[in-house]
């Protein structure tokens, strides 16, 4: 790579470094292409990718493969990492949202003090989500505690004909399950219960 070309790469990278956090890869490619004064057809010719594919990439309709991004980066005279870092950040954000959603669902499974929905969700995702076992143990411990309290409340209802303690425990369990699910889904710390293992 010549000194002039290297300087252009550095200049383009510095110019668009602050923009790339805000832009999707397709929009970034379009911006760079326009800055270079190229049409989609010219970019397609230089990258050996169809102009329709370039159009779809710029519109965010397709997720370009690494090889395609390398060809585009070469044609636009920019560093390939400009696109890769953007893609990695987006994928990590999507994965984090998915993980938090599953963890939230796991906490919501404690809404009814039944253990088997929690076990099923944990069993499905235990190999995919790091840290899910800690959440699972906390939820199971809390559910077992609630089940014990419910049995005590049922005994009170049977002996004294007073359902209020049972209703209070069920309501409290529902509120804690919903609170924990919302906390986890938003990426915040959750209440782990009195017998939790940290």
pLDDT in tens, 123-149: 888 877 878 888 888 888 888 888 999
CATH class (in words) of the domain with range 3-79: mainly alpha
pLDDT band at 152 (very low <50, low <70, confident <90, very high): very high
At 157-181, the pLDDT tens digits run 999 998 998 899 989 888 888 888 8
Q: Check: CB of residue 163 under 8 Å from CB of residue 143.
A: no
Q: Check: CB of residue 148 under 8 Å from CB of residue 123.
A: no
At 91-117, the pLDDT tens digits run 666 677 778 888 888 888 888 777 888
Q: Check: CB of residue 104 under 8 Å from CB of residue 185.
A: yes
pTM across the whole model = 0.50
- Domain borders along the chain are 3-79, 92-185
75: pLDDT strictly greater than 70: yes
Q: In this predicted structure, what is the pLDDT of residue 90? A: 61
Q: Of 79, 31, 86, 40, give the one whose Cα is nearest residue 63.
A: 86
Q: Of 180, 196, 197, give the one whose Cα is nearest residue 188.
A: 180
Three-class DSSP category at 124: helix
Three-class DSSP category at 83: helix
């Amino acid at each position: 790579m010549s000194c002039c070309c290297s300087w252009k790469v550095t200049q383009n990278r510095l110019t668009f470094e602050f923009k790339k956090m805000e832009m999707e890869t397709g929009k970034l490619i379009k911006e760079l292409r326009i800055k270079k004064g190229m049409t989609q057809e010219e970019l397609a010719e230089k990258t050996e990718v169809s102009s329709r594919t370039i159009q779809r990439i710029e519109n965010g309709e397709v997720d370009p493969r690494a090889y395609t991004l390398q060809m585009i980066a070469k044609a636009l005279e920019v560093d390939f990492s400009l696109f890769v870092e953007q893609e990695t950040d987006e994928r990590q954000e999507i994965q984090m949202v998915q993980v938090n959603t599953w963890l939230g669902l796991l906490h919501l499974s404690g809404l009814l003090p039944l253990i088997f929905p929690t076990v099923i969700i944990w069993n499905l995702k235990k190999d995919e989500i790091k840290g899910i076992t800690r959440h699972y143990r906390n939820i199971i411990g809390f559910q077992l505690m609630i089940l014990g309290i419910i049995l005590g409340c049922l005994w009170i209802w049977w002996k004294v004909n007073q359902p209020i303690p049972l209703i209070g425990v069920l309501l409290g369990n529902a509120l804690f399950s919903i609170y924990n699910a919302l906390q986890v889904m938003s990426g915040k710390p959750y209440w782990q219960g009195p017998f939790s293992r940290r």
